[in-house]
Every structure is written in C-alpha cells, then in structure tokens.
Amino acid sequence: MKLSDIGEFALIERLAGRIHNVAPDEVIVGIGDDAAVWRSGNEYLMATTDTMVEGVHFSPGSAPWADVGWKAMATNLSDIAAMGGWPPFVALVSLAMPPDAYIEAIAELYEGLSACARQYGVSVVGGDTVRAPQVSITVALIASAKTHAGKPRVLRRDMAQAGDVIAVTGTLGDSAGGLRRLKDGCAATDSLARRHLKPEPRITTGTEAAQRGILCAIDISDGLVQDIGHICERSGVGAELNATAIPRSADLRAAFPKEALQLACTGGEDYELALVGRPRIIEKMAAETNHQLTVIGKIVADPPRKVRVLNENGVEVRFDRAGWDAFR
C-alpha cells in the first residue's frame, strides 16, 4: 500500500499506534493536537515542529527567501497560539541544503526567520545543518502554558461541546488566493500573495483565549472545513458553519468573486485561529475588536464528525475537498 492510498492523517494514526510513551502521567496532550503539552516539575511546557520543503511548500521562483524563513517560524508560532501557549519561546532550527545552494539565499532565509523570532520574542538556541537534494527548513518550538489551580490552561482539539459557538480570527482564503496569483505569475508584493508568503501568527489572541478559560481551538493551516473537522473528530461532535458569516477580505472577493467562499473554506495556510466555546465567553471576546473575531457557526451533537457549511437558505454547500493532505 502507498501513502497516497491512506493519506497524511491515517498515516499519523498508524504511527501513533507504534509509540508507547513511558511516562503517560507526565504527558498532558500527546499526538493529535497542534502542540504537545507535558509536565516538568510544577510547570507545563508545550512543543511543536513544522517543516517546509522546496518545491512542496515553497518555490524559490516566486517566494523571496526572507519570506520562507519568516513562514517557517510563523507556522510554528501559529500552532503554539492554537494551544494558548505563552513565552518564553525557544526554537531549534534544522536546515537541509544541496551543496550548490547560494550562501546569500540561506543568509536571507535566516534574516526572515530572525525577524519573525524578534517580533514574537523567540530565542533561537540551536539546530542542525545537513546536506539534502533540496532546501528544507524545520523549526521546533517550545513554549509554556499558564496554570490555573495547578492545572494547565490550554486550548485543545478534543474539548468542543454541542451548543458551543465557533469563531475565527481575521479573514480566510487570502493565502490560497495569493498562492493562485503567485502561480499565475504575480509579484510577491501583491496583497494576497503577502498573506500567503508572510502569515502573522495569532499569539495574543491564543494566550488571551486560554486566559479567559476557553478550552478548544485549532489554527487554520489545512483549510477551515478540514481543520474544524479535526476538532469534530477529536471531540466526537459535528459542526454547522454559516457560509455568509465566513469572513472574506475585499481583496479576495474582488480577485475571485466566484471562488472566494471555496477558497475560504478549503484553501488552507491562513494561520488564523478558530476558537470554540460557550457563546457568552466567545461573544464577549468577539466584542473586543482587537482580536478581529467573527462567529461563523456552532457545534452540534448530530451528525457527529461532520462539518456542514450551510448557505443563507440552510442548504448545504459542498466542496470537492475539505483541505490539504500531504500525500493526496
């Protein structure tokens, strides 16, 4: 059987089945969330890692190297935001490159990575440098969790309950729209292309959500429908999203008038946050405009494990795919 037969998520499940953790009491959140959480003495720490590969996650023809470095750090910060993680943030950076790579390009990549690290307060403390057929960059990021009554306050994928509402930060689909425009040859300075190349992780919204007692979140990296699907899978619930409420930017609507909804629902790489919680808490937070939160739907008991996008007449809108899978 090939990887493409089962896809990324079934593979991870199979791999997880082969891991036998020796200290289950220390591990609070293991494989299957945006980051892992474990106890270290009286503290709780979290960690995540993400890789970007040339030709798969970026093409040097259209992505400036500084943006590649920024994004490698930003995607990890986004996973920490999705868990409600706090500083100190500490990173390890592993670089793989062919011998004929240009030093100037790699230096530029590090400038971008370092700019993101500075902006969000990340200390880069080490890494690894190896040879490979193409450039790839892996960042591993460690953060802290705040505690409340001795327990860690974290945002998990498995804490959604029927009756909760779902809110997202910012606008969705811009990154996928930007990628399309880059493929059509637009400049890296194009406004949608910027959203694809240089995402802004929602760290302050994540930390504040955890602080307010919100329990459930994910970052939108694979596509809204697929990522809300991960919450539904892990929580054993379903979700109904209101198509007209899904925030789409004026730029996206202008560039892709017919496809804006599809891009927003299935496009991926927005690195916005989806927060799930009791209506009162979420609506109170959404009323504070600095988080740019929009309520887009609700968690339902039935049908479980399904994400349905409904139009203004309550009719389900269907898409060819829910989002990105590494092997399909």
Q: Return the number of the residue (50 or 190) whose C-beta is nearest ligand ADP.
A: 50
Residue 51 beta carbon to ligand ADP: minimum distance, rounded to whole angstroms: 9
Site for Mg ion, rule CB under 5 A: 34, 79, 219, 221
What is the nearest approach in angstroms of Mg ion to the Cβ of residue 82?
Answer: 5
Query: CB-wise, 34 or 269, nearer to Mg ion?
Result: 34
Q: In the complex with ligand ADP, which residue's Cβ is closer, 10 or 31?
A: 31
Tell me if 31 contacts ligand ADP by CB under 6 A: yes
* Segment near ligand ADP (CB under 6 A); pick from 30-38, 143-151, 190-198, 235-243: 30-38
* The binder of ligand ADP chosen from 3, 10, 15, 315 (CB under 6 A): 15
Q: Which option in ligand ADP, Mg ion, none does residue 50 bind, with CB closer than 5 to 8 A by kind?
A: ligand ADP
12 binds ligand ADP, rule: CB under 6 A = yes
Asked if 203 and 77 count as a contact pair (C-beta separation under 8 A), the reply is yes
Residue 33 binds ligand ADP (CB under 6 A): yes
Does 272 help bind ligand ADP (rule: CB under 6 A)?
A: no
If the CB atoms of residues 102 and 327 are measured against ligand ADP, the closer one turns out to be 327
**Is 221 among the residues that bind ligand ADP (CB under 6 A)?**
yes
Q: Spell out a b/e string for 101-130, using b for 16 or more CB atoms within 10 Å of the CB, else e.
A: beeebbebbbebbbebbeebebebeeeeee
Our finding on whether 87 is near ligand ADP (CB under 6 A) is: no
Phi-psi region of 204 (alpha: psi -120 to 50; beta: other; left: phi over 0): alpha
Which residues of the chain form contacts with ligand ADP (CB under 6 A)? Answer: 12, 15, 31-34, 50, 79, 221
